Chains A and B, each alone.
Chain A
Amino acid sequence: MIWRLAPLIGFVLLAVVLAFGIRLSRDRVPGELPSVLIGKPAPEFTLDGLRDGEGPVSSTQFLGKPWLLNVWASWCAGCRVEHPVIEALARRGDITVVGLNWKDERGDALRWLAQFGDPYRAIATDPDNRVALHYGVYGAPETFVIDARGVIRHKFVGPVTERHVQTILLPLLATLREEAGS
Chain B
Amino acid sequence: MKHLPGARPGGARSHIPRMALMFIVALFSTLASAAIEPLQFADDGERRRFNALAAELRCLVCQNQSLADSDAPLAKDLRRELHELMRSGRSDEEIKTYLTDRYGEFVLYRPPFDGRTWWLWIAPGVLVVIALAAVALIVRQRRRLAGTDTRALEPKDDEEW
Report A's interface with B, CB cutoff 8 A.
31, 33-37, 103, 128-129, 133-136, 138-139
Give the A-B pair count, Cβ closer than 8 A.
Answer: 34
B 58-101 to A, binary, CB cutoff 8 A, 1 in contact else 0: 00110100000000011001100100000000000000000011
Is B119 interfacial (CB 8 A cutoff)?
no
Contact (A133, B102) CB under 8 Å given A103-B73, A128-B77, A138-B74: yes
Interface residue SS majority, chain A: loop
Return chain A residues, CB-CB under 8 Å to B106: 33
Q: How far is the CA of A35 from the CA of B107 in the complex (A)?
A: 12
Instruction: A134-B102, A139-B60 given; name 7 further pairs at CB < 8 Å.
Output: A35-B104, A36-B100, A36-B101, A36-B103, A37-B102, A133-B78, A138-B103
Closest A residue to B60 by CB, please name it.
A138
Return chain B residues, CB-CB under 8 Å to A34: 104
Contact between B102 and A36, CB atoms less than 8 A apart: yes
Q: How far is the CB of A156 from chain B (nearest CB, A)?
A: 16
Report B's interface with A, CB cutoff 8 A.
60-61, 63, 73-74, 77-78, 81, 100-106
Q: How far is the CA of A134 from the CA of B103 in the complex (A)?
A: 9
Closest A residue to B103 by CB, please name it.
A136
Q: How far is the CA of A37 from the CA of B100 in the complex (A)?
A: 10
Return chain B residues, CB-CB under 8 Å to A139: 60-61, 74
Q: How far is the CB of A73 from chain B (nearest CB, A)?
A: 11
Return chain A residues, CB-CB under 8 Å to B73: 103
Return chain B residues, CB-CB under 8 Å to A138: 60-61, 74, 103
Q: Which one of B63, B100, B102 has the greatest number of beta carbons of chain A within 10 Å?
A: B102
Return chain A residues, CB-CB under 8 Å to B78: 133
Contact between B60 and A129, CB atoms less than 8 A apart: no
Q: How far is the CA of A129 from the CA of B61 in the complex (A)?
A: 14
The 3 closest A-B pairs by CB, nearest first: A138-B60, A129-B77, A36-B104
Closest B residue to A40 by CB, please name it.
B101
Return chain A residues, CB-CB under 8 Å to B104: 33-36, 136
